[in-house]
Structure 1
Amino acid sequence: MCGRFSLFSSFEDIIQAFDVEKMINEDEYTKNYNIAPTQNILSIINDGQMNRMGYLSWGLIPSWSKDPKIRTKMINARSETVVEKPSFRESFKRRRCLIPMDSFFEWQQISSSKQPFRIKMKNDQLFAVAGLWDTWRSSTGEKINSCTMLTTSPNELMSSLHHRMPVILPTKAYETWLNTLEQDTQLLQSLLVPYPASDMEAYAVSTAVNSVRNNDQSLIQQIS
């Protein structure tokens, strides 16, 4: 699964990496070293004409749901069953997004405790995880745009840390994934595979990352 990540790249780098044409105001973007579920996270969608940047609440609330609290169980979606699950299948067809990040965190069980690890690209490159989004409206008119991250089986690097990993898409797949007219299930699912371990690295970080109250650059520093 993926339950915590970081995004601290510059505003300009994000725009360039994802060919964003319609963006939020730069002062709305805040670097974040400890992003957690239910928070609003920066996401990229395509509106049929251009790539747009905006915030989505992390934890999908299906449009038909009666209770928005379901979001806490919807931070991740298994890529193997996303076509079948009622909570995700319509979004998989029409509402796909990219979730930019610089790294994500996973916890490895060591004896009686869990050690957090930071996982990133070896070249420190910004990357994107495949996501789905939906819009939920309450009976009183409240509107929440929310999202989930897709997961897949782990690559060689991740297998020692967890039995799942987020679906990291290669740059060449961004356009296909965001294309709202693309509904070829086989083609889309062919993108949902483990990212090459050879391009990634993982290292232990401070347990300070365990608390969402902590949010600074020290959380991404390697510890011995």
Structure 2
Amino acid sequence: MCGRYAATANPDELTLEFEVDDDRTTDPARSVLVNPQSPPAGTPDHNMAPTKQAPVVLTRTPRGADGAAPTRQLRLLTWGLVPSWSKDPKSGVRMINARSESVLEKPAYAKAAARRRCLVPARGWYEWQVSPTATDPKGKPLKQPFFTSRADGTSCAFGGLYEFWRDPAVADNEDPAAWLTTFTIITTEAEPGLDRIHDRQPLVLDSSQWAAWLDPELTGTEEVAELLQPAAPGRFTAYPVSRAVSSNRSNGPQLLDPLPESELRGVVDPMTGEIIGAPE
């Protein structure tokens, strides 16, 4: 967790909801993908996966604007954090998440946690529940995907960190290919109920916390640690969805459709703990 989520809003919607000053999603940006991203980066994606470019909200001072105030920007960043000191960008595939309990101490995340925090907008996220009773044809526990979103219908704002990696093989510092900008999503222990799906969940920040989280001047460990604390439970709703989401080639709004109870096998209801559907 979190390895897949739905980013269904377009830049105009995100600019409004997150009070963005500067939409930079059309700026040239380096990608790590061999093939063109599908759906194209910056368009609604119902199955956002690691290494894709995703919309991220951050606060930075515009380059070349001495004395200018920081602005809230919407940018396309690659999911999978690559620390600035990395020899190559391959580490990003392994660093899609950062645990809230250790993010302030680990060398790969500490500097970013102090000054380069971001918000990752999402409709919600996917997680796979391991069945206690049902097995697949190979005899392994069956995994049922769930979709979790805010019960009030607003966007989730995952707490994230971002980093810049400079490619020494590109001579021109102004060449967009010289820089790879990446992010990771912070996770916490899952709240009661959701822990019946998976033991981790993304850190979801409420709108009252956004300004502080995005403030690059807020660098104190105690202040950041306070923002890393999970909120009271009860903000989310979760339901089973089609296993089609397990393939990163699957996409579209149908991935968010609830799966009929008749198709469930050995699924644990997150709210009640009841097992739904016969094992076979």
Task: Give the counterpart of 2:238 among 202, 206, 213.
Answer: 202
Measured after TM superposition, the shift of residue 29 of structure 1 is: 2.7
Separation in structure 2 between the aligned mates of residue 108 and residue 183 of structure 1, nearest angstrom: 37
Cα contact 1:157–1:202 (8 A) shared by 2: no
Q: Which residue of 2 aligns with 1:3?
A: 3
The one-letter amino acid paired with 2:13 is D
**Residue 159 (structure 1) aligns with:** 195
More moved, 30-39 vs 17-26:
17-26
2:74 to 53, 71, 85: 53
Once the two structures are overlaid, the 10-residue window that deviates more, 171-180 or 134-143, is 134-143
What is the deviation of 1:203? 0.2
Q: How does 1:1-224 map to 2 (within 5 A)?
A: 1-24=1-24, 29-48=42-61, 49-110=70-131, 111=134, 112-141=141-170, 142-224=178-260
Count of paired positions: 224
| TM-score of the aligned structures, taking structure 1 as reference length | 0.95
4+ aligned runs moved over 6 Å, structure 1: none
Listed one character per residue, the Cα deviations across residues 29-82 of structure 1 (whole Å, up to 9, x for unaligned) are: 301100000110100110142100001100000000112111111000011111
Whole-angstrom CA distance in 2 between matches of 1:176 and 1:98: 11
Q: Name structure 1 gaps, 5 residues minimum.
A: none
CA contact (8 A) 1:165 1:194 kept: no
SS at structure 2 position matched to 1:108: strand
Q: What's the TM-score once normalised by structure 2's chain length?
A: 0.77
Give the Cα separation in 2 of the matches to 1:10 and 1:213. 20
Sort the Cα spacing of 1:71 and 1:179 in 2 relative to 1 into closer, same or farther, 3 A: same
CA RMSD after TM alignment = 1.5
Which whole-Å CA distance do the structure 1 matches of 2:212 and 2:8 have between them?
26
**Percent identity of equivalent pairs:** 33
The runs of 5 or more residues in structure 2 that have no matched partner are 27-39, 62-69, 135-140, 171-177, 261-280
CA distance in 1, matches of 2:184, 2:247: 21
Give me the whole-angstrom Cα distance separating, in 1, the residues matched to 2:55 and 2:41. Answer: 10
Higher deviation after alignment, 23-32 or 125-134: 23-32
